[in-house]
Amino acid sequence: MTFADGFDGTLAPGTSPAVVSVDLMRAYFDPQSPLCLPEKQFLDTAAQVLESARANGVPVLHTRVSYGPDGADGGVFIHKIPALRLLIGDSELGRIMPEVAPQDGETVLVKQYASAFFGTDLASLLHTWGVDTVVIVGTSTSGCIRASAVDAVQHGFIPIVVADAVGDRDETVHGGSLYDLQAKYAEIWQSPAVLEYFSASGT
């Protein structure tokens, strides 16, 4: 990637990372779901990132979306994207995919909006654990991944978005979002570099 002057800065990763696995739910992989994405290769890569994090003592957190009765806690967001009504209550489509399922002791945060930070305890948990770098995998690149990365940097964390472990409904949208995130808010890494980083950070 090449960037204009003034948008070519970089952030050095810290020594205390955590992984946030964003909304890797069945809704994005079930062909019968209107939210289904065109490919799932990034899900397998996300699973590798989680496996490496666990092996190296890096905390892993998960998010999923769920709404209360009538979706009232979804505000105008659930009206803008009517497909989100499929995530009202304990929906099967809201369950995290088995490839990236939480292990015992891992935190699962339930959210109603795009960012993993908005309306959740994520920032306070990460600060309590002394985390300085947030490695982000999940879906979708232009929505929840972007929003979470922006909020991460605004909360003082270094965001690393794993390019081959996030996905979107359209490759052009996906690529454009990664480009803009690198220019303004985050570092965009491929998974091999992330696995090497975890190994170096391992406890």
* pLDDT at 153 exceeding the cut of 60: yes
- Return mean pLDDT, the chain: 95
Strand order in the sheet with 107-111: 107-111, 60-65, 17-22, 133-139, 158-167, 187-189
Q: What is the pLDDT of residue 201?
A: 80
Query: Each residue of 8-32: pLDDT tens digit?
Result: 788 999 999 999 999 999 999 999 9
Closest Cα partner for 183 from 7, 10, 11, 12?
Answer: 7
Active site residues: 144
Q: What is the pLDDT of residue 202?
A: 66
Per the listing, tokens 């779901």 go with: 33
Per the listing, tokens 């929003």 go with: 147
* pLDDT at 4 exceeding the cut of 70: no
pLDDT confidence band for 56 (50 / 70 / 90) = very high
